[in-house]
């Protein structure tokens, strides 16, 4: 078995060592930032964009030349809030890590086939899964893993049944099923859990900063964890040059998190105007999602408790979007799809286009999300990506149709993504 795995690894490394050059001609370039398309040509060498020009580019010896046929060339898409291991159906319950990983494999494949060349896993996925993708053992997007979510006892990441014993108080492990979350109480446990995540290879840290919808025992308005515990998590992360993102809905929770150094708020649907202004003043991100909240009510196994909490947060969605636009808060592109909802991934484009222009949505899904990813500092080993710019990583998509006029073409990635390139490697070509 070891010999088979070694051969597979050597094959992957040998393939990666074979430098490839690609010239993509006759395209209209969406560079990830500007709303106007620019006619031109792009040369990719050794996984990097080396030339972007309106003038013809001479193809290097041995280069593969693609005629883009006046299609739109875009950077690869980025999703800031993914749970690769969060798609186990309820009938499997607390599934073994073997089953969780098998399902995550299918989810990862769907993301890359949909044009998402990078994702930030917002908790639950072990960094070894990201390494397996990097080595070519698993097919999927580049993953920035958060490792196990940190949750206080009775917090949004405490998924035990009401009668279940407390694992730590009973002398057991603080980790939930498949290490997707870890129960931590007190400064010392927060420090240890963050450091352990970083030791395993996490690129940023996720904590639960308030009550949630899909949890049974924590009210939406509960505050989690204490200021001292938040500061401990932030300190441990910042010591490694990275940051903390936190689940939160209410203004009270968001204030506490921002006051104590959290750099990115996940969801934020019950925020008020003053707190949104405060978020902007502190250069904090609000990474929010649309489709998941509009479809959770149809999820198999959802309870009356979940539905009641869903109704509360869903009511604030449009207000939040208005405040993000009012204060120009960085939001990026995120989905948070769970429990088998990942086939709805590309619907997020059209839902967002109800509030932002197609060009703004595409910028959210490329350059804006990339800026958030880069908050990981040196924990980012992959370089710069998210824009079509010389010297940046060659994550590229050739799109059939006119996404800046009708973003719905992205809903059908099978037929409308003619080319998918991840770090200079062709993973799909239907030209």
Mean pLDDT per 10-residue segment, the chain (431 residues):
39 48 98 97 98 97 96 98 91 82 95 98 96 97 98 88 78 79 96 98 98 94 97 98 98 98 98 98 98 95 94 97 98 96 97 98 98 98 97 98 98 98 97 92
**Which of 429, 384, 376, 422 shows the shortest CA–CA distance to 108?**
422
Cβ proximity of 83 and 125 under 8 Å: yes
User: Which pLDDT score is estimated for 93?
Assistant: 72
Residues 6+ positions from 234 with CB-CB distance below 8 Å: 243, 244, 260, 261, 262
pLDDT at 9: 41
Which distant-in-sequence residues (6+ apart) come within 8 Å of 239 by Cβ? none
| Closest listed residue to residue 105, CA positions, set 80, 130, 81 | 130
Residues linked to residue 244 through DSSP beta bridges, in sequence order: 205
Which CATH number applies to 2-75+385-429?
Answer: 2.30.40.10
Query: How far is it, in rounded angstroms, from Cα 140 to Cα 116?
Result: 9
pLDDT of 19 reads 61
pLDDT score at 379: 97
pLDDT of residue 285: 98
Given the candidates 3.40.50.300, 3.20.20.140, 3.40.50.1970, 3.40.710.10, the CATH classification of the domain at 77-352 is 3.20.20.140
Structural domain boundaries in the chain: 2-75+385-429, 77-352
The arrangement of strands across the sheet holding 205-208 comes to 181-183, 149-151, 205-208, 244-250, 264-270, 285-287
What's the CA gap between 263 and 33, in Å, rounded? 23
3-state SS class at 422: strand
CA distances to 104, 146, 184, 214, 253 from 249, in Å: 27, 20, 21, 13, 7
pTM for this predicted structure: 0.93
Backbone angles phi, psi at 187, to 5 degrees: -60, -45
């Amino acid at each position: 078995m070891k010999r088979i795995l070694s051969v597979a690894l050597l094959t992957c490394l040998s393939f990666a060592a074979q430098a490839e050059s690609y010239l993509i001609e006759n395209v209209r370039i969406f560079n990830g930032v500007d709303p106007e398309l620019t006619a031109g040509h792009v040369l990719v060498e050794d996984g990097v964009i080396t030339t972007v020009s309106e003038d013809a580019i001479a193809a290097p010896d041995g280069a593969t030349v693609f005629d883009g046929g006046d299609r739109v060339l875009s950077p690869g898409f980025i999703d800031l809030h993914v749970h690769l291991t969060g798609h186990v159906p309820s009938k499997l319950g607390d599934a073994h890590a073997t089953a969780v990983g098998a399902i995550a494999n299918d989810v990862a494949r769907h993301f890359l086939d949909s044009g998402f060349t990078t994702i930030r896993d917002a908790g639950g996925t072990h960094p070894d899964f990201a390494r397996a993708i990097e080595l070519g053992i698993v097919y999927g997007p580049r993953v920035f893993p958060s490792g196990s979510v940190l949750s206080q006892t009775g917090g949004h990441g405490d998924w035990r049944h009401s009668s279940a014993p407390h694992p730590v108080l009973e002398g057991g492990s603080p980790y939930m099923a498949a290490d997707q979350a870890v129960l931590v109480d007190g400064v010392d446990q927060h420090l240890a859990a963050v450091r352990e995540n970083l030791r395993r290879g996490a690129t940023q840290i996720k904590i639960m900063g308030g009550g949630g919808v899909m949890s049974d025992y924590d009210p939406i308005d509960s505050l989690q964890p204490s200021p001292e515990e938040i500061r401990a998590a932030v300190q441990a992360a910042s010591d490694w040059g990275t940051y903390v993102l936190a689940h939160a809905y209410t203004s009270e929770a968001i204030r506490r998190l921002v006051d104590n150094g959290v750099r990115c708020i996940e969801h934020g649907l019950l925020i008020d105007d003053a707190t949104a202004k405060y978020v902007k003043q502190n250069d904090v991100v609000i990474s929010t999602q649309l489709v998941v909240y509009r479809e959770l009510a149809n999820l198999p196994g959802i309870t009356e408790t979940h539905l009641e909490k869903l109704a509360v947060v869903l009511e604030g969605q449009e207000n939040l979007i208005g405040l993000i636009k009012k204060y120009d808060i960085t939001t990026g592109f995120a989905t948070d799809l769970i429990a088998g909802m990942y086939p709805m991934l590309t619907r997020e484009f059209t839902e967002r286009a109800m509030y932002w222009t197609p060009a703004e949505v595409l910028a959210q899904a490329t350059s804006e999300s990339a800026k958030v990813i880069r908050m990981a500092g040196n924990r980012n080993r992959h370089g710069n990506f998210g824009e079509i710019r010389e010297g940046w990583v060659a994550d590229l998509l050739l799109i059939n149709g006119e996404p800046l006029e009708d973003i719905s073409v992205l809903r059908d990635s099978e037929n409308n993504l003619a080319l998918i390139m991840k770090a200079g490697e062709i993973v799909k070509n239907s030209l």
